[in-house]
Structure 1
């Protein structure tokens, strides 16, 4: 019986579970996770697996004690095949590899293509195994950690639940590794500054994410209406409890009114390529009336962006107002914003249309 009544879940497994001893992949901790995935599928629940571990899996093949970025990319290339082979041998159904960069997700057309690929694999009974493409990522193209990647994937896959495996039982009010009196939060109804304050740094020696990135992922997922769990991935009890419909760790409650899909993508997945800064006393509501944002109201333009890129609209004091698709390049918008002749600017904008599109804008809470 599927007690949680899920139809589709995403489970994120970190490097410490994949390659715990620094000698390549190990199935020691993965067997319990694999059994959970098998049981979910038997219950009619579709599963997407986001798996870190390529760098950790390939590290033992290289002699460098302090590897350069190029060597780490080579480790990822060598370790990815070992990681996929390790997962593949644990199942009697086919797995499928998807390697992503943030560029694949922040571009709307490529994002939709990723969605379609995931749906096609699931519909044909396969297990998508997704990882960041560490071999080709750069600072401008990478997500950086698979916690946030798993949330983006969960949103793209229209998942009901996101299960993030950790090395602790969930979110504590303080670091349980250094505080014996730390208390586990069994559920979180709202993610705010207090929740983020409870998150410390990374505890794993081989992972790139800590509790903070898991909270970031939970915030992304819950705003899409996705139940999110942080559980201890090192014990089978966590997965047995989930199958029993029980919460083994911290359950982050989803929004009662989830964000629309394209607005969620704009807010949490698309990356702003530049900023449009308006006066601090700018009071126009940036929604369907976004045509009211004119070049005359722009103080300055930062960054280098093209028509169609996502931009951040903020006040001069730093208050973030919205993320939106730009109908102007940064070059043209800067030119218009610098013009002293208001009539000329208005005539130009009448020809080219609004600065941002009313159908491609996500209004942000003041921050």
Structure 2
């Protein structure tokens, strides 16, 4: 059944998206030999979609499978045991990154993650900061599971769920999952002649997950069930998910025109509103006193807070804790904003009042130029933190 059997529907508006590409779209076919085990016939169109989106000022993070297939392309090895797959993944990682670099005009950055990285507080924040910086630099992050050490992930083939976690990590507006079929059907499209396309899923129910269970492609390890699981997790984070056929060039080109031929899994709540609601009510571990320039910048542009605007640090807090921002010239004034601390209290005291370029000299490292990033900040009397403005030194 053709992927274009799915009637076009509007793709949700987005500024930052995570695109997941599975190994079934990348591995070379027996009749198309490849030096590195990877075939660009489908990936090339996806890479062009990324390039066009970037040219329009959007940001894309790519979650790509294919390391094991690339490893098989480099060495002759029979069998399919877990340890062999770990070795093949290690052999194939460099080829996978080189493959995407050959298709991308932007510099490609390899990022290897495991689910533990996203569950561990400090590692989560480190990954978040690194990906933000890569996007700021104009790079294309290519994320894969660290299959050499992530045994459970390699066994489960869980890049779909990893993509959902990454979408939340980078505050994406949309999760795009390229599949080898058109999307979700009411039955198996190859076995059930009565199967019909399902254009929209309002909620991923246990019944839907049970119906979607089944074998994956020969080279892919994640079937439709894992894609629905990923969509459900993204939906809970306020992120819509689009399932589409990555083998159909017409479908991929339509994405660039804001049209989806596939299945849309709707977000269950507004992402920005849910995050801001949590920031408003989570317990605060400390506070920062900020100068008038920073106060004005926060109110006028919803900007990030840089160390130059910090006058004093109150309390003890760790990196990632919720802190309050208060004007320094009125000790009795209520907090004007809340956000997540990029540096702990001792580190913030050392960089307070200094220029961002001095952070690494003063601390010996730098998580970023912001004390509180605008994506992790909410004003308590306005919603203006949703805007994106030009950086200044006091706040950006």
Normalising by structure 1, we get a TM-score of 0.68
In structure 1, which of residues 1, 11, 20 is the aligned counterpart of residue 19 of structure 2?
11
1:100-139 counterparts in 2 under 5 A? 100-139=113-152
Using the alignment, how far apart are the partners of 2:156 and 2:277 within structure 1?
Answer: 19
Following superposition, the deviation at residue 228 of structure 1 comes to 0.5
Question: In the superposition, relative to structure 1, how do residues 4 and 260 fare at CA in structure 2: closer, same or farther (>3 Å)?
Answer: closer
Using the alignment, how far apart are the partners of 1:147 and 1:41 within structure 2?
Answer: 23
Are positions 1:185 and 2:198 aligned together? yes
Following superposition, the deviation at residue 5 of structure 1 comes to 3.1
Following superposition, the deviation at residue 200 of structure 1 comes to 2.9
The equivalent of 1:151 in structure 2 is 164
The equivalent of 1:359 in structure 2 is none
RMSD: 2.5
Q: Larger relative contact order (C-alpha < 8 A, sep ≥ 6)?
A: 2
Following superposition, the deviation at residue 105 of structure 1 comes to 1.0
The equivalent of 1:71 in structure 2 is 84
Are positions 1:225 and 2:245 aligned together? no
The equivalent of 1:83 in structure 2 is 96
Using the alignment, how far apart are the partners of 1:262 and 1:26 within structure 2?
Answer: 43
154-163 vs 172-181, greater mean Cα deviation: 172-181
1:199-214 counterparts in 2 under 5 A? 199-214=212-227
- For the 8 Å contact 2:144–2:159, the answer to whether it is kept is yes
Aligned length: 265
Following superposition, the deviation at residue 263 of structure 1 comes to 11
Following superposition, the deviation at residue 66 of structure 1 comes to 1.5
The equivalent of 1:237 in structure 2 is 250
- For the 8 Å contact 1:171–1:184, the answer to whether it is kept is yes
Following superposition, the deviation at residue 262 of structure 1 comes to 11
Using the alignment, how far apart are the partners of 1:237 and 1:3 within structure 2?
Answer: 15
Question: In the superposition, relative to structure 1, how do residues 3 and 169 fare at CA in structure 2: closer, same or farther (>3 Å)?
Answer: closer
Question: In the superposition, relative to structure 1, how do residues 144 and 204 fare at CA in structure 2: closer, same or farther (>3 Å)?
Answer: closer
Deviations 1:99-127 (A, max 9, x none): 01111111011111111111110011000
- For the 8 Å contact 1:101–1:142, the answer to whether it is kept is no
Deviations 1:306-362 (A, max 9, x none): xxxxxxxxxxxxxxxxxxxxxxxxxxxxxxxxxxxxxxxxxxxxxxxxxxxxxxxxx
Are positions 1:98 and 2:111 aligned together? yes
- For the 8 Å contact 1:173–1:184, the answer to whether it is kept is yes
- For the 8 Å contact 1:102–1:141, the answer to whether it is kept is no
Question: In the superposition, relative to structure 1, how do residues 163 and 26 fare at CA in structure 2: closer, same or farther (>3 Å)?
Answer: same
The equivalent of 2:47 in structure 1 is 34
Gap runs ≥5 in structure 1:
265-286, 289-367
Following superposition, the deviation at residue 6 of structure 1 comes to 1.1
The equivalent of 1:292 in structure 2 is none
1:337-356 counterparts in 2 under 5 A? none
Question: In the superposition, relative to structure 1, how do residues 85 and 100 fare at CA in structure 2: closer, same or farther (>3 Å)?
Answer: same
Using the alignment, how far apart are the partners of 1:96 and 1:37 within structure 2?
Answer: 14
Using the alignment, how far apart are the partners of 2:86 and 2:13 within structure 1?
Answer: 40
Deviations 1:200-232 (A, max 9, x none): 323311111000000000001111111110100
Are positions 1:48 and 2:61 aligned together? yes
Gap runs ≥5 in structure 2:
1-9, 284-396
